[in-house]
Amino acid sequence: SLPLVAIVGRPNVGKSSLFNRILRQKKAITHDRSGVTRDSLFGEVTHLEKPFTMVDTGGLVLETPQELEEEILEQAREAIYAADLILFVVDGRQGLTGMDEDVCAYLRQSGKDVVLVVNKVDGPELEETLATEFYALGFPLTCVSAAHGFGISVLQDLIEERL
CB-nearer residue toward ligand GDP: 53 or 145: 145
Taking the complex as a whole, the smallest distance from the CB of residue 117 to ligand GDP amounts, in Å, to 10
- Measure the CA–CA gap between 54 and 45, rounded to whole angstroms: 7
| H or E segment and range at residue 52 | strand 52-56
Positions in 32-71 near Mg ion (CB under 5 A): 37
**Residue 13's binding partner out of ligand GDP, Mg ion, none, with CB under 5 to 8 Å set by partner kind:** ligand GDP
User: Minimum CB separation from ligand GDP for residue 31, in Å?
Assistant: 5
Spacing of C-alpha 27 from chain mean position: 15
**CA 75/CA 24 separation, integer angstroms:** 24
Contact characters 129-158, ligand GDP, x per CB under 6 A: ----------------xxx-----------
Q: Which is nearer to ligand GDP, 37 or 40 (CB)?
A: 37
The SS3 assignment for 113 reads coil
- Which of 67, 68, 64, 74 has its CA nearest to residue 33? 64
Cα 21 to chain centroid distance, Å, stands at 12
Among 12, 16, 75, 142, the residue binding Mg ion under the rule CB under 5 A is: 16
Q: State the minimum distance, in angstroms, from the CB of residue 124 to Mg ion.
A: 25
The span from the CA of 98 to the CA of 113, in Å, is 22
Decide if 54 contacts 123 (C-beta within 8 A): no
Site for ligand GDP in 10-29 (CB under 6 A): 11-17
The answer to whether 16 touches 28, Cβ cutoff 8 Å, is yes
Among 2, 3, 27, 36, binds ligand GDP (CB under 6 A): 36
Annotated binding site for GTP: 9-16, 56-60, 119-122
Q: Where does this chain bind ligand GDP (CB under 6 A)? A: 9, 11-17, 30-32, 36-37, 119-120, 122, 145-147
